[in-house]
Structure 1
Amino acid sequence: MKRKLKWKLKWLRLSPPQFLVAGFSAIILTGAFLLMLPIASESGEGLGFMDALFTATSATCVTGLVVVDTETFFSTFGEIVIMCMIQVGGLGFMTMATLIALVLKRRISLKDRLILQEAMNQTAMEGIVRLIRRVLLYSLYIEGVAVIIYTARWAFDMPLGKAAYFAVFHAISLFNNAGFDLFGDFRSLTGYVSDPFVNLTSLFLIISGGIGFIVMSEIVDYKTRRKLSLHSKVVLSMTGALIVIGTVIIFIFEFTNVKTLGALGWDGKLWGSLFQSVTPRTAGANTLNIPDLRQATQFFIIILMFIGASPGSAGGGIKTTTFTIMIGAVISMIRGRDDIVLFRHRLAQERIFKALTVSLLALLFIVAVAMVLSTTEDASFLAILFETASAFSTVGLSMGLTPELSLLGKVLITVTMFAGRVGLLTLVFALGPKKGKELYRYPEGKMIIG
């Protein structure tokens, strides 16, 4: 009894970052165990531990990279397990725990609120439970609408029951920016490259799931409040800019490529360019075959994946706000200004340091993993870099390397997906020593730069 109480007290003493790392790890291990069961596969043989762990990590971290084809290998039970992990991983396990607590009318403690604040990447605890309620409500509403549209469209291609099942799976997968699909042979949505219904519904799911729940909440309240926060303005403007720029660049690069846009009509070219501009922002679905893209397009997609989605969403990457701050720092330096000003607001130095830290850590992590993989895998460096960036940014787009990974390659990509979803800073705070107060400051020094 004493041991049990001691373990419980130790668990309660975990910091919010440590709690998040432990929680995600527990979900992944549980999912891996379920995917190893014979009932989870069509053949009844089950999945090996490493492949099960890889798939569970990919689903919980809403990535979408797969070592086996989801539709042909897994049974309905296995697919439902993956779908549940996507939903829990996308919304966050603390969000789901809060839902259960609210249903049971349990009080949300201060520690719970601190963990929720860390999980939702918020700067304050104020209104965090109200935000969680909205997250759940908006998620169910958006996914529900998408299920109806998908079901109506796919009922023309398959039996109604199967169409409804496909609709639920893909609505959850795309809203949570996961990228898992049930169309088989690693095809994703390539069969619907020119279909306006599938494209519009999928794009709406990806973008709404990627802008973040804070932004979504402010958009809904805009009619009454008539204003947006600086965060929402930055997210919406940068998201729009990246979509437009990405669409134009992909359209230009792939216009004459007969393996991608070159073989399509004008509507297919436009839909394909738009979809492939949006999906690298951590969605993982694709309507163009990634290995058939030109190298310039593939490298450009790596850049889009590195930027990723927005804070407080299911997406990964360094985030649109971080990228905006970095661009703002460059512009301010060129103009000779001391402050970064966005929408008539000056940014605190702490935000700038954090953006720089996040960007540099992410870049160094991706480069380090890619360098190691280049010695263990028999593939081009571009393919390895693409897969690494896709894993870290929890995107799920693949050039076909993932199913061919060695055991060490699978371990590295699994760790990369986990680090990308939880966040490198969260991992550092969780595993590193507690921050102490500085008792003194060193004298200021000067050094030459550039």
Structure 2
Amino acid sequence: MRIPKKKDIIALSPPQILIFVFLAFTILGTVLLKVPLATNGNISWIDALFTSTSAMTVTGLAVIDTGASFTLFGEIVILCLIQLGGLGIMTFAVLIFMTLGRKIGFKERLLIQQALGQTSIGGIIKLAKQLFLFSIILETVAAVLLAIRWVPEMGWGKGSYAAIFHSISSFNNAGFSIWPDNLTRYVADPVVNIIISFLFIIGGIGFTVVFDLWKKSEFKKLTLHTKMMVVGTFVINIIAVFLVFSFEYDNPQTLGDLSLSGKIQAAYFQGVVPRTAGFNTIDIGALNESTLFLMILLMFIGAGSGSTGGGIKLTTFLAIVLSVLSFLRNKDEIVVFNRSIDDRTVVKSLAITIISLSVICVAIFILDVTENNARFFEIVFEVVSAFGTSGLSMGLTGELTPIGKMVIVFVMFVGKIGPLTLAFSLAKPNKSKIRYPKEDILTG
């Protein structure tokens, strides 16, 4: 087998380089998690690969108990992978290049643009620096606040470490926890609920949105993307929280036995968490199927573009919905907030959705064959959770067969890098100048 030379790697397109680097760090993480220093016992290579991929894709699905299976060194490796996957490898590359005094060329800027999901290359280096500083400051402040809550309960060492771990995991929408019951012990704790949810909502809304809100004081001055993300996030979260509260109000295994305050907090947390992070304060497997189906839809929609979350992205979903509404109203243009959305954006949104559904359907089909002891609903939930890099599970993750684990690894990978990035990395550029006459077909 021929080893790729430096000139071969440079000749790769930005999507191909991103995939190559992402895979390289995932493999490195797998090796580090497999060494004896990282575990409290021997774990298989496939479990190490699954954990490394879950951390790099900031998903949070776990085939083994993170807190019990890994040592402090292993957990630190997982945290580093989460930070790399959440903020983006290219963001750290920019900082390293600047520290070493290296010039950042056009090729590197294209890579950063691709990694951060930006439409323009202008100001991309400044954005990367702001993103890093913003992330570190926010994670530090949140860790201090969580430490104030947990240090009196656990002591300085364990309390501080738990605060740092969950702060990084929350902001990067990873959903990893060092406790086997995740955050269920804090189902009615307002401090933990508010801080953790604030972190993953900010991380999931997208960095360009956060910076746009920071710089502009008036709503009308915001970009169209920011307006759609803010309004869309608010509306969909309100609907989700209300539905979870309604569906689970009398369920004794979830909200039923909680006080009214506890019900509200649990419904809020589980209503806003599916689109971004994989934390849970109630038993996911005990939820009613109506609630689980709602979560499947939310996980598929996902977070915001340029964020730490996955899914098809909220703006992709909104673009499709708005195009349908415009068609039903017999309008030629898709107009929102006095701005029209380009037709290419709608086509791109449809492509993302169709490719995503294709990956999900193939994965469900394979798991339905390999996972004989799993219910079909559990399989659907697991696959969509992996694609949306949500990390929520009905309990199937730890029972997956080796083939099932590899399928979920691939789905997490696609969900993180994006279906279009994968498609562009495999597709050949079309240089044809030929144009053909148009002709209508019958539809509907």
TM-score (norm 2): 0.97
Contact 1:206 1:278 in 2 (8 A): no
1:384 correspondence with 2:379? yes
The aligned counterpart of 2:168 is: 172
Which residue does 1:68 correspond to in 2?
64
Question: What is the distance in 2 between the residues matched to 1:118 and 1:196?
Answer: 38
Note the alpha carbon deviations across 1:113-141, whole angstroms, 9 max, x for none.
00011111111100000100110011011
Shift of 1:348: 0.9
How many residues are aligned here?
442
Q: Distance in 1 between matches of 2:174 and 2:378?
A: 20
Q: State which of 325, 331, 340 in structure 2 corresponds to 1:337.
A: 331
Structure 1 residues 22-421: aligned runs within 5 Å: 22-43=20-41, 45=42, 47-183=43-179, 185=180, 187-223=181-217, 227-377=221-371, 378-421=373-416
Q: Are positions 1:427 and 2:422 aligned together? A: yes
- In the alignment, which residue of structure 1 is the partner of 2:12? 14
Rounded Cα–Cα distance in structure 2 between residues aligned with 1:438 and 1:302: 41
Aligned mates of 1:102, 1:220 — CA distance in 2: 25
| Deviation of the 1:448 alpha carbon | 2.0
Letter in 2 for 1:394: T
Summarize deviations over 1:300-343 as a string: whole Å, max 9, x none: 10000000000001100000100110110111011111111111
CA distance in 1, matches of 2:195, 2:92: 25
**What amino acid maps onto 1:430 in structure 2?**
S
Shift of 1:59: 0.2
Find the aligned partners of 1:157 and 1:404 in 2 and give their Cα distance.
33
Where does structure 1 differ by over 4 angstroms across 4 or more consecutive aligned residues?
none
Counterpart contact for 2:247–2:290, Cα < 8 Å: yes
CA distance in 1, matches of 2:152, 2:241: 29
The one-letter code of the counterpart of 1:40 is A
**Residue identity opposite 1:350 in structure 2:** R
Secondary structure at 1:297 match in 2: helix
Q: CA deviation at 1:445?
A: 1.5
- 1:15-46 CA deviation, whole Å, 9 max, x = no partner? 10000000100000000000000111113x3x
After superposition, the C-alpha distances for 1:164-203 in whole angstroms (9 at most, x for unaligned) are 11111110001000000011x2x11111111110011011
2:20 is matched by which residue type in structure 1? A
SS of residue in 1 equivalent to 2:252: coil
Distance (Å, rounded) in 1 between the aligned partners of 2:426 and 2:72: 38
Deviation of the 1:227 alpha carbon: 1.9
Helix, strand or coil for the counterpart of 2:357?
helix
Give distance in 1, aligned partners of 2:441 and 2:32. 56
Cα distance per residue 1:24-80 (max 9 Å; x no partner) = 00000000000000111113x3x2111111110000000000010000110000000
SS at 1:139 equivalent:
helix
- Give the Cα separation in 2 of the matches to 1:216 and 1:203: 16
| AA at the equivalent of 1:88 | L
The answer to whether the 8 Å contact 1:281/1:395 transfers is yes
Q: Which structure 1 residue ranges, 5 or more long, are not aligned?
A: none
Q: What is the aligned-residue identity percentage?
A: 45
Q: CA deviation at 1:156?
A: 2.5
CA distance in 2, matches of 1:11, 1:361: 26
User: What code does the residue aligned with 2:255 have?
Assistant: L
Once the two structures are overlaid, the 10-residue window that deviates more, 219-228 or 127-136, is 219-228
Distance 1:19 1:379 in 2: 37
In 2: Cα distance, 1:437 partner to 1:268 partner: 60
Cα drift, residue 104 of structure 1: 2.2
Q: Secondary structure at the match of 1:264?
A: coil
Tell me how far apart the structure 1 counterparts of residues 227 and 220 of structure 2 sit (CA, whole Å): 13
Give, in whole Å, the separation in 2 of the partners of 1:220 and 1:144.
19
SS of alignment partner, residue 103 of structure 2: coil
Amino acid at match of 1:121: G
Code of the residue aligned with 2:405 in structure 1: it is K
Contact 1:316–1:392, Cα closer than 8 Å, also in 2: yes
Give the superposed CA RMSD. 1.4
- In 1, Cα distance between the equivalents of 2:84 and 2:220? 33
* Letter of the structure 2 residue corresponding to residue 228 of structure 1: L
Q: Which amino acid aligns with 1:404?
A: E
Within 1, Cα distance between the matches of 2:219 and 2:193? 32
How far the C-alpha of 1:422 sits from its partner, in A, is 0.8
User: What is the Cα deviation at residue 105 of structure 1?
Assistant: 2.5
Shift of 1:223: 3.6
